[in-house]
């Protein structure tokens, strides 16, 4: 047995650069999903504690960060970027230990987050405003962007490093203080990264981590000193966060769930498409908001493609993410049972279960939360295996007669996070990318996560608010614009004139 059965470690908040020393009234269990063992006992923040942390962050923002020069802010960002590279393996190991994804996937997750930290190092360029000389006689006009104050970041379990990194570096680079609330299921990677900011020279209190559940989230959403909220999670909670936060006068970007479709046209390279479907469907056990969960294939090639995917799925090894397996466990026992119930429902509804993940074998010790990949064919749009976000290793295959039928099916879905088309036909790909109602589109790329200098975000029920994450939209979200119209006294000024200022 690899499990040590040590007593669960206490995991607590990071407030003003230090581990919180209070006693929590409520705690929750953190597990190693590969062994099923409880490894941590997490302090859950009360609303009062969140209020104190926000007030402390506000003071730190005003006194120690808002007026710090761009040169000094940037030097902290560069140091953080180096420390994150130094600790990338360590953070990846923490992700695998609490989330379960395999080690190289966890390492790559940190790498994608690192890209945003690198983008934030260029903040002096990103914050440059416009300047107009002599807009009126002797009058210059210029724009600037200023920080908001305290920003809340609330993140999901599936990317405990990357999702906080989508937001925190840019929010800090823009001059804000941050209160970060990670998922209560896997907080340790997030906490380890937060400690690196202190090491990088960020003043105490400018970044704080509070652990918690709905009570902590509600306290953030209603606190008057929280000016903006960046949320990522499931659609019902995203909608709630958006409605509650905006009702309390905050700007909110709330990224929600997904059902991502991959459309395969008859002229596609079927080996490439099969590889892509397997990678995007079962990577991270399907627990990615950009995972492909619905494969839409145009009929003439459907049997052939399904056979190629089934052959590949049969070769996948599921097990402990530290053992070089292809796929790890899912996050909880309840998630595993829920995922299994969707495969059962698909079979009951008349779909064909080509590969049944409930019958898988696992390379692991203990009682981990495993379910192997499932491939379910002949799915129709009324089946729950299609309508619901399963968030597990289940790939549903829907067969269509034409490109148009496929496009219509995708556009009828309430989610609009990511999608991809596989084809050699440039005209069809162009029509797809123009007409599909989805925020992130791949052409022969199955997981089209934008690079950091573009922005990440879906449409429809996959995002509430109008600002996507990172890129220039992120900078815009974390700052307020101001326009200054300036004249320095000169001999031509003066005189009373009640008319509206004109620029001629």
Closest approach of ligand NAD to the CB of residue 408, in Å: 23
232 binds ligand NAD (CB under 6 A): yes
Closest approach of ligand NAD to the CB of residue 216, in Å: 8
Q: Residue 42 or 351: which CB sits closer to ligand NAD? A: 42
Q: If you ran DSSP here, which 8-state letter would residue 388 be given?
A: S
360 binds ligand NAD (CB under 6 A): no
The total of other beta-carbon atoms located within 10 Å of residue 77's CB is 24
8, 38 contact by CB (below 8 A): yes
Say how many Å lie between the first and final Cα of the chain, rounded.
82
Q: Where are the alpha helices (DSSP H) in 258-301?
A: 270-282
Contacts of 253 (CB under 8 A, 6+ apart): 229, 230, 231, 457, 463, 464, 465, 467, 468, 469, 477
Closest approach of ligand NAD to the CB of residue 445, in Å: 17
- C-alpha to C-alpha distance for 165 and 179, rounded to whole angstroms: 13
**Count of residues interacting with ligand NAD (CB under 6 A):** 28
Pattern 387-416, ligand NAD, x by CB under 6 A: --x-x-------------------------
- DSSP H or E stretch at residue 131: strand 131-136
Residue of the chain from 77, 93, 258, 278 that contacts ligand NAD (CB under 6 A): 258
- C-alpha to C-alpha distance for 121 and 309, rounded to whole angstroms: 42
| Region of 28-36, 176-184, 311-319, 484-492 interacting with ligand NAD (CB under 6 A) | 176-184
Q: Interface residues for ligand NAD in 75-94 (CB under 6 A)?
A: none
In the three-class reduction of DSSP (H, G, I as helix; E, B as strand; rest coil), residue 454 is classed as: coil
Query: Which candidate in 121, 174, 289, 325 is catalytic?
Result: 289
Closest approach of ligand NAD to the CB of residue 500, in Å: 45
Closest approach of ligand NAD to the CB of residue 297, in Å: 23
Closest approach of ligand NAD to the CB of residue 310, in Å: 26
Q: Residue 147 or 211: which CB sits closer to ligand NAD? A: 211
462 binds ligand NAD (CB under 6 A): yes
| Region of 46-54, 95-103, 226-234, 271-279 interacting with ligand NAD (CB under 6 A) | 226-234
Per DSSP, the residues of 20-52 read --S--SEEEEEEETTTTEEEEEEEEPPHHHHHH
Residue of the chain from 36, 169, 245, 256 that contacts ligand NAD (CB under 6 A): 256
Q: Catalytic site residue 289?
A: yes
Q: Interface residues for ligand NAD in 414-433 (CB under 6 A)?
A: 417
Pattern 133-172, ligand NAD, x by CB under 6 A: ---------------------xxxxxx---x---------
CA angle 131, 133, 138 (to 5 degrees): 135
Residue of the chain from 183, 413, 423, 461 that contacts ligand NAD (CB under 6 A): 183
Length of the chain: 504
- C-alpha to C-alpha distance for 49 and 70, rounded to whole angstroms: 31
Closest approach of ligand NAD to the CB of residue 494, in Å: 56
- C-alpha to C-alpha distance for 130 and 150, rounded to whole angstroms: 26
- CA-derived radius of gyration, the chain: 25
Q: β-pairing, 260-264 with 292-298?
A: parallel
CA angle 429, 406, 449 (to 5 degrees): 55
255 binds ligand NAD (CB under 6 A): yes
Q: If you ran DSSP here, which 8-state letter would residue 202 be given?
A: P
- C-alpha to C-alpha distance for 366 and 322, rounded to whole angstroms: 14
Closest approach of ligand NAD to the CB of residue 388, in Å: 10
Helix%, strand%, coil% for the chain, nearest 5: 40, 25, 35
Residue with tokens 């796929």: 327
Q: Residue 252 or 274: which CB sits closer to ligand NAD? A: 252
Q: Residue 213 or 269: which CB sits closer to ligand NAD? A: 213
Pattern 206-225, ligand NAD, x by CB under 6 A: -------xx--x--------
Closest residue to ligand NAD, judged by C-beta, is: 233
Which residues bind to ligand NAD, rule: CB under 6 A? 154-159, 163, 181, 183-184, 213-214, 217, 232-234, 237, 240, 255-258, 289, 389, 391, 417, 458, 462
The set of catalytic residues is 289
């Amino acid at each position: 047995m690899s499990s040590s059965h040590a007593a669960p470690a206490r995991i607590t908040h990071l407030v003003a650069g230090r581990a919180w020393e209070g006693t929590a009234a409520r705690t929750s269990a953190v597990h190693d999903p590969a062994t099923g063992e409880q490894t941590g006992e997490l302090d859950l923040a009360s609303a009062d504690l969140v209020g104190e942390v926000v007030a402390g962050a506000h003071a730190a923002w005003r006194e120690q960060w808002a007026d710090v020069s761009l040169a000094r802010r940037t030097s902290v960002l560069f140091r953080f970027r180096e420390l994150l590279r130094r600790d990338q393996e360590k953070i990846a190991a923490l992700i695998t230990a609490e989330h379960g994804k395999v080690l190289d996937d966890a390492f790559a997750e940190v790498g994608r987050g690192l890209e945003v930290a690198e983008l934030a190092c260029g903040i002096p360029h990103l914050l440059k405003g416009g300047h107009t000389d002599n807009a009126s006689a002797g009058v210059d006009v210029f724009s600037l962007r200023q920080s908001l104050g305290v920003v809340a970041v609330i993140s999901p379990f599936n990317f405990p490093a990357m999702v906080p990194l989508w937001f925190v570096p840019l929010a800090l680079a823009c001059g804000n203080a941050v209160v970060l609330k990670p998922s209560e299921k896997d907080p340790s990677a997030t906490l380890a990264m937060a400690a690196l900011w202190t090491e990088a020279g960020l003043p105490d209190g400018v970044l704080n981590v509070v652990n918690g559940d709905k009570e902590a989230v509600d306290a953030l959403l209603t606190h008057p000193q929280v000016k903006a909220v960046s949320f990522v999670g499931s659609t019902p909670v995203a909608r709630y966060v958006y409605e509650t936060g905006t009702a309390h006068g905050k700007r909110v970007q709330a990224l929600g769930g997904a059902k991502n479709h991959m459309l395969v046209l008859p002229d596609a390279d079927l080996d490439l498409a099969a590889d892509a479907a397997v990678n995007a469907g079962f990577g991270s056990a399907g627990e990615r908001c950009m995972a492909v969960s619905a494969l839409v294939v145009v009929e003439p090639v459907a049997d052939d493609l399904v056979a190629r995917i089934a052959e590949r799925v049969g070769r996948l090894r599921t097990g402990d993410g530290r053992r070089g397996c292809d796929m790890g466990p899912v996050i909880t026992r309840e998630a595993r049972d829920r995922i299994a119930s969707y495969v059962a429902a698909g079979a009951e509804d008349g779909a064909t279960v080509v590969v049944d993940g409930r019958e898988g074998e696992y390379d692991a010790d203990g009682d981990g939360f495993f379910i192997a990949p499932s491939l379910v064919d002949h799915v129709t749009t009324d089946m729950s295996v299609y309508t619901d976000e399963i968030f597990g290793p289940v790939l549903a295959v829907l067969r269509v007669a034409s490109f148009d039928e496929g496009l219509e099916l995708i556009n009828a879905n309430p989610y609009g996070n990511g999608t991809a088309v596989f084809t050699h036909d440039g005209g069809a790909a162009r029509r797809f990318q123009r007409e599909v109602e989805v925020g992130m589109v791949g052409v022969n790329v199955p997981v089209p996560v934008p690079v950091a200098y573009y922005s990440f975000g879906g449409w429809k029920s996959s995002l509430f608010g109008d600002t996507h994450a990172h890129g220039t939209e992120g900078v815009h979200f974390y700052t307020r614009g101001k326009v200054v119209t300036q004249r320095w006294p000169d001999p031509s000024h003066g005189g009373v004139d009640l008319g509206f200022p004109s620029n001629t």
